[in-house]
Structure 1
Amino acid sequence: MTGNLRTTAATGTAVAKPARGRAGSARKNGPGLKHEDKRTAILRTAAQLFAEKGYEATSLDNIAERLGMHKATLYHYVDNKESILYQCLVLSFGDLDEVIEKTKDRSIPVLDRLRLYVRSLAVAQNNDFGRCLVLVGSRPLEMMQGGDIRQFQRRLDATVRNLITEGIADGSIKPCDPSMFSALLFGALNWVPRWHSAGGKLSIQQVADTFMDMVIEGIAAVRR
């Protein structure tokens, strides 16, 4: 991994600091790009390739080639392929920690909070880093530093369960198994990056809202 770990306020999880010395911290690299800008470009490109080709089939040579740089140059910004994947997956969390906190605001109806949460999840899972997490997962990091990622995924699941439990308690959601609902929801959302196209008929937000409409209202026709 590149450098040490720190905890971000945005995610509450550990992310890698760029190493000092070899990688530097603020010097310019390339035409008008700061070190961190170029590092982010490398991670984004790697995330795209991991999602397209698969983690195992993607090499550092592939990443360097798509970026138009020499492989040796990559090592000024990253340590190895495993650290690249780890940092891509951490970036996939985005601002979801902030969204999780908003779901605790009981002045907002629970179903409205659930809808906001699902929409935010769908958006996060369909950017470059989110698609990488969904399509590749943390399995390649099983023997390394994947624990932070799995811990955050458990927080996402717990948030859904808590909302359903609250809704059952206040009568806005009929009695059901919160864990089964969470499994249903994430099963649906995790499949979206495999079929959704940015140029398609529906935006990600519309896909999320359609899912929620079907979940909340059901699909059975009202019998008169």
Structure 2
Amino acid sequence: MGTSSKAATPSPAARARKQADASPWARAPERERQREAKRNAVLSTAAQMFNERGFHATSLDDIAARLHVTKPTLYYYVKNKDEILLECVRKGLHMTLDGIEASRQAGGNAVDQLRACMEVYADIVAQPFGMCLIRVGDEEVPEPSRTELRRMKSEIDHAFRRLVAQGVEEGSLAACDPKMTAFVIAGALSWIGRWYQPGGEYSAAEVARQCIATLMDGVLRRP
């Protein structure tokens, strides 16, 4: 006589897992990744608009419109426009400091490291966050964040000073005042962030190459 078998009844725990898998909402880690990606999109778009129009001439409504969302949606990712600016400038500074440190860690003599740091700096100030750092700056950022950002800017200046001083000591750079020379280098490269326009006559790489060549080699014709 044959026996009939019945499908096993799922346990309550198994049913709960199945219901969770069928949820239209992503799990917590994925939701956090999505939120971070959207927050970065808010910051990137804001940086571009600050660069185009200026900080005061750009409203949260403008940023929301370019992202095709409502203004209240932005408040899920940022508190206000001041926080957006703070994060944009902070990102530009972190990118610069990380790039300079990576260039120094790559090794080489002082001139090699100085040139690599200049290339990093010139590249970043032609990008949205770096450009925002130069065009808007930290003047609009309220305290105590302004002090923090200025401390980070000082680290960039001192990195250039150390490399110039090291180059003079090695004999690979002409005798000079490291502080003044660092100001000239950083000032000249920073100005790229003010006048450079993507899609113009020169690419960002070509602008960086020519500016660095002028700073390193000068403009006098040599015999």
Matches within 5 A, 1:143-182: 143-182=143-182
The answer for unaligned runs of 5 or more in structure 1 is 1-24
What letter matches 1:65 in structure 2? A
- Inter-partner Cα distance in structure 2 for 1:218 and 1:181: 13
Report how far residue 94 of structure 1 moved. 4.4
CA contact (8 A) 2:110 2:167 kept: yes
Q: Which residue of 1 aligns with 2:130?
A: 130
What letter matches 1:184 in structure 2? V
Partner deviation per Cα, 1:88-138 (whole Å, 9 max, x = no partner): 111113443333334545950211111110010111111111111110001
Structure 1 residues 154 and 133: CA distance shift in structure 2, 3 A: same
Structure 1 residues 219 and 43: CA distance shift in structure 2, 3 A: same
Of 177-186 and 81-90, deviating more is 177-186
Q: Which residue of 1 aligns with 2:100?
A: 100
Matches within 5 A, 1:108-127: 108-127=108-127
What letter matches 2:191 in structure 1? W
- Inter-partner Cα distance in structure 1 for 2:42 and 2:99: 27
Identical pairs, percent = 34
Structure 1 residues 141 and 161: CA distance shift in structure 2, 3 A: same
Report how far residue 204 of structure 1 moved. 2.3
CA contact (8 A) 1:111 1:167 kept: yes
Q: Which residue of 2 aligns with 1:80?
A: 80
CA contact (8 A) 1:46 1:84 kept: yes
More helix by share: 2
- Inter-partner Cα distance in structure 1 for 2:46 and 2:106: 40
CA contact (8 A) 1:115 1:212 kept: yes
Q: CA RMSD in A?
A: 2.2
Q: Which residue of 2 aligns with 1:7?
A: none
The answer for unaligned runs of 5 or more in structure 2 is 1-27
CA contact (8 A) 1:43 1:84 kept: yes
Of 158-167 and 104-113, deviating more is 104-113
Q: Bigger radius of gyration, 1 or 2?
A: 2
Q: Which residue of 1 aligns with 2:212?
A: 212
- Inter-partner Cα distance in structure 1 for 2:130 and 2:207: 16
What letter matches 1:148 in structure 2? E
Could you list the structure 1 runs, at least 4 aligned residues long, displaced by more than 6 angstroms after superposition: none
- Inter-partner Cα distance in structure 1 for 2:142 and 2:216: 36
- Inter-partner Cα distance in structure 1 for 2:180 and 2:93: 23
Partner deviation per Cα, 1:147-192 (whole Å, 9 max, x = no partner): 2211111011001110110011111111111121122112211221
CA contact (8 A) 2:93 2:133 kept: no
Aligned residues: 196
